Chains A and B, each alone.
Chain A
Amino acid sequence: DTGVSQDPRHKITKRGQNVTFRCDPISEHNRLYWYRQTLGQGPEFLTYFQNEAQLEKSRLLSDRFSAERPKGSFSTLEIQRTEQGDSAMYLCASSRTDLYGYTFGSGTRLTVV
């Protein structure tokens, strides 16, 4: 296991469609985070899990967004009824509780047309 894996790398969808992204963290990392990054901006926090428990959600995470981490392993982020404003890079990261900083994946780039 060499890093955080995200799938797909790119997704183009029509407005109003639902999309789901997957993140596979580093296996020994118990924390998993989702961030969103738009062009020219830094990543913005969306939510994070410790094991399977979702511990914090940003106000950015509207009711159209839902994240899960069943069994504390991989995580999915679903966006329902996508809007053009959802176009962004969705980054997943993981960490261990005894280490500082995250390891990020390469992200899923979403384009809503």
Chain B
Amino acid sequence: QKEVEQDPGPLSVPEGAIVSLNCTYSNSAFQYFMWYRQYSRKGPELLMYTYSSGNKEDGRFTAQVDKSSKYISLFIRDSQPSDSATYLCAMTHGSGNTGKLIFGQGTTLQVKP
């Protein structure tokens, strides 16, 4: 079993829809949680990071962490065709700025105009 599980999709939604992306994990030592967006043939780009449990909002994006359930989510409101990309969750032990990140498989999202 992988440490981080993420449904690869693909997920197809109409423009303007609310998108929910999720990851589960098995290691309770993970403390910092991140979401990256990756366009085709590009490197991942950091969207959101969250420490421990709770919510964090940034524009159309909301990240949620539920450590008791070992479950994290990313919500995208008013989705746009430009949001079409692969979304990767990532997490790390201890401090979020040290050492390695463990990534999920990535979910491919397509937003149709």
Is A45 engaged at the interface, CB distance under 8 Å to the other chain?
A: yes
A residues 61-113 in Cβ contact with B at 8 Å: 91, 93, 95-107, 109
Let me know if A48 and B100 touch, CB within 8 A. yes
Which label, helix, strand, loop or mixed, suits the secondary structure of the A interface? loop
Chain B residues contacting A45 (CB-CB under 8 Å) are: 100-102
Let me know if B97 and A56 touch, CB within 8 A. no
Q: Which residue of A lies closest to B45 (CB)?
A: A104
**Residues of B within 8 A of A (CB-CB), count:** 26
**A106–B40 alpha-carbon span in the complex (Å):** 10
Interface size class of A (residues with CB under 8 A): 20 to 34
Let me know if B105 and A102 touch, CB within 8 A. no
| Residues of A in contact with B (beta carbons under 8 Å apart) | 4, 31, 33, 40-45, 48, 55-56, 58, 91, 93, 95-107, 109
| Residues of B in contact with A (beta carbons under 8 Å apart) | 4, 6, 8, 32, 34, 36, 41-46, 49, 88, 90, 96-106
10 shortest interchain CB distances as A-B pairs: A42-B103, A104-B43, A45-B100, A101-B46, A100-B96, A100-B49, A106-B43, A100-B97, A104-B44, A43-B103
Q: Given contacts A99-B97, A101-B46, A103-B46, could you give 12 more A-B pairs where the C-beta distance is less than 8 Å? A: A4-B43, A42-B105, A43-B88, A43-B103, A48-B99, A56-B100, A93-B43, A97-B97, A101-B34, A101-B96, A105-B43, A107-B42
